Amino acid sequence: MIICGGGFDVAAKLERIAELDKLTLAPDFWNDSQQAQVVMRDLNRLRAQVSVWQKLSKHLTDTLELAELGDDELYDELAHELETLQEEVGELEFQTLFAGEYDQEDAILAIHAGAGGTEAQDWAEMLQRMFIRWAEQHKFKIEILDYSSGDEAGLKSCLMSVKGDYVYGRLRSERGVHRLVRISPYDSSSRRHTSFAKVEVWPDVAEDIEIEIDEKDLRIDRFRASGAGGQHVQKNETAVRITHLPTNTVVSCQNQRSLTQNMQVAMSILKSQLFELERRKQEAEMAALKGEDVDAGWGSQIRSYVLHPYKMVKDHRTNHEVGNAQAVLDGRLDDFMEAYLRYKVGHST
């Protein structure tokens, strides 16, 4: 059964495509290249989304015509077509759950190791690998923007850009504290350890919004860039760290080729993060008025990954769990994301 509505009002999307097409025909369209790129990005996304539905409709028509032939020799071919249709419909049903205002946007994802030194830093790096694997499986573009190495292993924090269809809608399920239970490879006594890492996710909407940032509210530090494991060490101070003093929001970027590029990326991320802070503040105020639970930051543990004495990954919000923990750590996150989206739909009605 296909869920109607949500993010897939095809008629509305076709109407919006026509509007954007008209904009691109204006003689001054490319005068503002940044805005033009935003329009073209939205237009290409809409065309791709509508194309999926049009292809599914044609596939369904072709399969019905095949079935109407009533030829027993075509049974295997028909069974294959029906199985393929079921998979396509299932994927589209999943996508209709993206009803959030910014679900179709790209995302910025940050990972921070919790207290616990090497154990927590190693866990943070395991999470980074998990998200990179997940992005690669979906052919999403993922780029490491900032990376702070652990003292002995792993990482203290990292910042990544993830680009693709409905990336924020998928990744917002990952925001919160992730807990790992395992026999520590760093403990000579082979004791069981519990480690924590925090994942932050916000929509990459800097190009779509206008936020005024007073330069007097910023502290800008420049330093030498160094990638994971000391790779790509810069002799010059090309990395940048921007602190927004009123909110104590800190953004770093070091993986671009120049100071100017790192500054541009960092400012873009800062704008998106300030926008997300304000948006979540408003959501929290509304939730408090309604008497709903409010996110408590580090206290809001969302998922546990248990590798000893048994293997299981369990989401504490949806109660969705799987026994193949390694598959999850290798990027198999879609089931958890879908369970979260269905949970959110059920709790918003």
Averaged over 183-199, what is the pLDDT? 89
Output the pLDDT for position 6.
44
When comparing pLDDT for 122 and 71, which is higher?
122
Identify whether residues 312 and 189 lie together within a single domain. Answer: yes
Q: pLDDT by residue (tens digit) across 262-297?
A: 998 999 999 988 988 888 887 777 666 556 544 444
Does 101 fall in a domain?
A: no
Identify whether residues 337 and 304 lie together within a single domain. Answer: yes
**Distance from first CA to last CA of the chain, Å, rounded?**
19
Output the pLDDT for position 90.
73
DSSP SS3 for 98: coil
Tell me the sheet residues that pair with 250: 243
Output the pLDDT for position 298.
57
Q: pLDDT by residue (tens digit) across 209-267?
A: 778 889 999 999 998 876 554 444 444 678 899 999 999 999 999 888 788 899 989 99
Q: Of 109-118, 233-242, 312-321, give the lowest mean pLDDT range.
A: 233-242
Identify whether residues 40 and 90 lie together within a single domain. Answer: yes
Contact (Cβ atoms closer than 8 angstroms) between residue 105 and residue 204: yes
The last residue of a domain, from among 254, 288, 322: 288
Structural domain boundaries enclosing 219 = 215-288
The last residue of a domain, from among 246, 269, 288: 288
The last residue of a domain, from among 245, 260, 288: 288
- Does the global pTM surpass 0.75? no
Residue 61 has pLDDT above 60, yes or no: yes
Identify whether residues 111 and 192 lie together within a single domain. Answer: yes
Identify whether residues 143 and 179 lie together within a single domain. Answer: yes
Residue 91 has pLDDT above 80, yes or no: no
Identify whether residues 168 and 113 lie together within a single domain. Answer: yes
Q: What is the mean pLDDT of the chain?
A: 84
Q: Of 22-36, 72-86, 131-145, 245-259, give the lowest mean pLDDT range.
A: 72-86
Distances (CA, A) of 90 to 2, 51, 57, 60, 292: 8, 16, 14, 14, 31
Output the pLDDT for position 4.
40
Residue 308 has pLDDT above 80, yes or no: yes
Identify whether residues 181 and 155 lie together within a single domain. Answer: yes
Between CA 270 and CA 243 the distance in angstroms is: 9
Identify whether residues 201 and 312 lie together within a single domain. Answer: yes
Does 251 fall in a domain?
A: yes
Between CA 159 and CA 145 the distance in angstroms is: 5
Which CATH number goes with the domain that contains 116? 3.30.70.1660
Which CATH number goes with the domain that contains 238? 3.30.160.20
Identify whether residues 87 and 31 lie together within a single domain. Answer: yes
Averaged over 114-138, what is the pLDDT? 94
Domains in the chain: how many in total?
3
Does 210 fall in a domain?
A: no
Identify whether residues 17 and 145 lie together within a single domain. Answer: no
Distances (CA, A) of 91 to 3, 10, 97, 122, 191: 11, 16, 10, 34, 42
Contact (Cβ atoms closer than 8 angstroms) between residue 168 and residue 160: no
Contact (Cβ atoms closer than 8 angstroms) between residue 127 and residue 111: yes
Which CATH number goes with the domain that contains 71? 1.20.58.410
Query: Could you tell me the two tokens for 46?
Result: 């809409």
Does 100 fall in a domain?
A: no
Does 1 fall in a domain?
A: no
Identify whether residues 117 and 244 lie together within a single domain. Answer: no
When comparing pLDDT for 284 and 201, which is higher?
201
DSSP SS3 for 286: helix
